[in-house]
Amino acid sequence: MTELSYAAIRRRKTRIKAALTGGVGLVLCLMFVLFGQATSNNQTRSNTLAISGPWEFTSLEPSKQGYIYTRMNILETLLNVDTKGALIPGLARTWQSSADEKTWTLTLQPNVLFQDGSPLNASAVVSALRIAQGKHGVLKKAPIKAIRVKNPQQVEMVLSQPHTVLPALLAHYSTAILAPSAYNQEGVVSRLIGSGAYQLDTFAPPHKLTVKANPTYWGVKPSIEYAQYLTGHRAESRILQAKSGEADIVYTLDAAMLEQLSRADNVVVHSDAIPRTLLLKLNAGHPFLGSVEARQALSLAINRPAIAEQVLHVAEAASDQIFASSMGAWYLDQPQENYSLEKAASLLAGLGWQKDDQGWLVRDGKRFQLTLTTYADRPELTTVSTALQDQWKRLGVDLKVDVTNSSMIPSRHADNTLEVALIARNLGVIADPVSLIANEYTQGGGDWGAMNWHSTQVDQALERLTTQSDPVQAKRDAQLVATAIYQEKPVISVANYQQHNAVNTRIKGYQFDPFLRDYFINKMELVDHVDAH
């Protein structure tokens, strides 16, 4: 029986008040703790550059998400890359090899301090490079015998065989130089201390990090006090961040949505070519794909201009070669292959393929059926896959599309179950693509390149490119490799990538790095106050 008295009612009211106060208090505490963690107190709109991009980060390790930290100017590499792909000085002022090209000497910039105040010297660089060598990254694969201190300002790298791309590897984010105090005893990065123009201020993985200007920076001193990077997962959110003026720079906008920004007078859209190619990786060991004619037929049946215009919304992106025009010696200066279903059908007819009543190609009672593996990390891959499915259907090829995780491409390559894969390959991940191409197109191919495809000429050319530094021969070899890939089609190029970025008009000095290593924050200024908020 419920107790009914004024005292009981009073008690109940007190309990209700206490419960409500407790609840509200809990929510307020939670807000205080969470908001307090994520925001730096001194940040204001007028002293902070807000950047938005689709990339998440979970670790401080340069071998994992080092690209975020080099882009945000926290970490620096020994060498840098200019917009044309040429190596330029970074933390190393000069770099030169011995006559036998087995020993490289790097001379460091003078008077460089890490963000903790310690000096950048040969000993710190050697320590950082040795740690990088032990982790996944480009140094691990290089034929490095020893990394040692030559004198306080010079580092010596001794190789077991000549490796011409070594300087380019030293511009890769996984070789960024951190202060000795950044590592714990196991060599794991416990604090992000580099030598860049900005130092880490707040770190809230996987979405947000804030950097603060480093007053002791040795290079171009930053004028913007803070910069903040926020992961915007959805393209819709990112474009609205640009439109509203909330983000000053928004990287990687969806081309189909750019129209939305055409009427925004506070935003300028920059579209730049990047050395990433949309390509089909073919298993040349597959019974249907073994002959060059079959692969050429599949290439001829791709209507690239239609895909570029209707699916990618960038008409000039269509490309039948994997190397973009920005890749110098690797680019083949020739007209594009024309879409020709008749020619493709005739090539396949020559191989014994005939159409059945339903329009599918059949040979020896077997239908020309393939499974295309792709992944959803990049939304355009799935739509291009279905466009290819439709285009190849017109040829009589039955293409099944399997959308899965990106790791299934190397995994299925390793167990030889891959038939066709649609991938977006960044050929500029290392400034000089030689080592990447050598890994992926020699000895039968590699995880993200050819598969069961052998070319002695290409193997020899890439061997020369890796070990010899004669520029004339190097150009000849690069053209030889590019031509062989173009003609024999172990991979088929569909389009080159363009990156669309939105930049607020209050930013002065915006620059774009096609190799995606640097946001050049220290070279930008905020022209106040064209402020949307």
Partner 1 sequence: MWTLIKHRIFQLILVVWGVGTLTFVLMRSLPGDMAYRIAASRYGQDSVDSDAAELVRQELGLDASWWQSYLHWLVDLMQFNLGASLVSGLPVIETVQHQLGHSVLLAFTSVLLASLIAILVGVLSAFRQGTLDHSFLWLSTLLRSMPVFVIGLMLILVFAVAWPILPVAGFGTWQHLVLPTVALALSLAAVSNRVVRNNTLKVIRAPFYQFAAIKGLSPSQTFVQHGIRNISVPVIVFIGIQLVTVIEGIVMIESLFSWPGIGHGLAHAIFARDIPVIQGCALMMGVLFVLLNTCVDLLCHWIDPRGAQA
Is 247 or 388 the residue whose CB approaches partner 1 more closely? 247
> According to the binding rule CB under 8 A, does residue 405 interact with partner 1?
yes
Instruction: Please report the sign of the dihedral spanned by the C-alpha atoms of residue 474, residue 475, residue 477, residue 481.
Output: positive
User: CB of 277: closest distance to partner 1 in angstroms?
Assistant: 12
β-pair partners for 499: 272
What gap in Å lies between CA 409 and CA 419, rounded to an integer? Answer: 10
Binding to partner 1 by residue 398, rule CB under 8 A? no
> From the CB of 403, what's the least distance to partner 1, in Å?
12
Q: Which long-range contacts (CB under 8 A, 24 or more apart) does 237-246 make?
A: 238/52, 238/53, 238/54, 239/502, 241/52, 242/52, 242/267, 242/502, 242/504, 243/267, 244/532, 245/504, 245/530, 245/531, 245/532, 245/533, 246/50, 246/532, 246/533
Among 48, 115, 164, 241, binds partner 1 (CB under 8 A): 241
Quick check: helix, strand or coil at residue 264? coil
208 binds partner 1 (CB under 8 A): yes
Nearest approach in angstroms of CB 2 to partner 1 is 6
Q: How many CB atoms lie within 10 A of CB 252?
A: 19
Q: Which of 216, 244, 473, 511 is close enough to bind partner 1 by CB under 8 A?
A: 244
CB-facing half-sphere around the CA of 523: CA atoms within 13 A: 10
Whether residue 349 contacts residue 495, with contact meaning beta carbons closer than 8 Å, is answered with no
Binding of residue 27 to partner 1 (CB under 8 A): yes
- Please report whether residue 30 would count as binding partner 1 according to CB under 8 A: yes
Pattern of binders to partner 1 over 454-473, x per CB under 8 A?
--------------------
Binding status of residue 65 toward partner 1 by CB under 8 A: yes
Site for partner 1 in 1-20 (CB under 8 A): 2, 15
- Asked whether the beta carbons of 153 and 122 are under 8 A apart, the reply is yes
How many chain residues touch partner 1 (CB under 8 A)?
67
Check residue 509 and report its DSSP letter: S
Quote the CA–CA distance of 506 and 527 in Å, as a whole number.
5
Q: Which long-range contacts (CB under 8 A, 24 or more apart) does 135-140 make?
A: 135/61, 135/63, 135/174, 136/63, 136/174, 137/62, 137/63, 137/172, 137/174, 137/175, 138/169, 138/172, 138/174, 138/175, 138/430, 138/435, 139/169, 139/174, 139/175
Does residue 507 belong to the site contacting partner 1 (CB under 8 A)? no
Given the complex with partner 1, which of 269 and 332 has the nearer CB atom? 269
Angle at CA of residue 206, ends 202 and 212, nearest 5°: 25
Answer for which of 13, 21, 25, 34 binds partner 1 (CB under 8 A) is 34
| Min separation Cβ 508 and partner 1, Å | 22
**Which of 236, 390 has the CB closer to partner 1?**
236
Contact (Cβ atoms closer than 8 angstroms) between residue 395 and residue 301: yes
Could you give the 3-state DSSP secondary structure of residue 11?
A: helix
Q: Which stretch binds partner 1 (CB under 8 A): 203-211, 283-291, 349-357, 453-461?
A: 203-211
User: In angstroms, what is the minimal distance from the CB of 466 to partner 1?
Assistant: 17
Residue 339 found at the interface with partner 1 (CB under 8 A): no
Nearest approach in angstroms of CB 260 to partner 1 is: 10
**Beta carbon nearer to partner 1, 145 or 233:** 233
Q: How far is the CB of 141 from partner 1 (least distance, A)?
A: 7
Instruction: Indicate whether 446 belongs to the interface with partner 1 (CB under 8 A).
Output: yes
One-letter amino acid of 528: D
Query: According to the binding rule CB under 8 A, does residue 262 interact with partner 1?
Result: no
Instruction: Indicate the SS3 state at residue 511.
Output: coil
Q: How far is 254 from 79, CA to CA, in rounded Å?
A: 32
Q: What are phi and psi of 275, to 5 degrees?
A: -75, 45
41: part of which helix (H) or strand (E)? none
Instruction: Work out whether 235 is an interface residue with partner 1 (CB under 8 A).
Output: no
Binds partner 1 by CB under 8 A, chosen from 273, 306, 332, 408: 408
- Looking up tokens 């159409």 gives 355
Q: Applying CB under 8 A, which of residues 72, 159, 171, 230 lies at the interface with partner 1? A: 230
Q: Which lies closer to partner 1 via its Cβ, residue 53 or residue 396?
A: 53
Q: Does 532 bind partner 1 (CB under 8 A)?
A: yes
Binds partner 1 by CB under 8 A, chosen from 130, 141, 148, 454 = 141
Backbone angles phi, psi at 354, to 5 degrees: -125, 150
d(CA 264, CA 275): 29
Q: Is 140 in the site for partner 1 (CB under 8 A)?
A: yes
One residue of 118, 325, 426, 452 binding partner 1 per CB under 8 A: 426
Instruction: Provide the binding-site residues for partner 1, judged by CB under 8 A.
Output: 2, 15, 23, 26-27, 30-31, 33-35, 38-39, 52, 56, 58-59, 61, 63-65, 67, 136-137, 140-141, 174, 188, 204-208, 230-234, 236-237, 240-241, 243-247, 375, 377, 404-408, 410-411, 413-414, 424-426, 429, 439, 446-448, 532-533
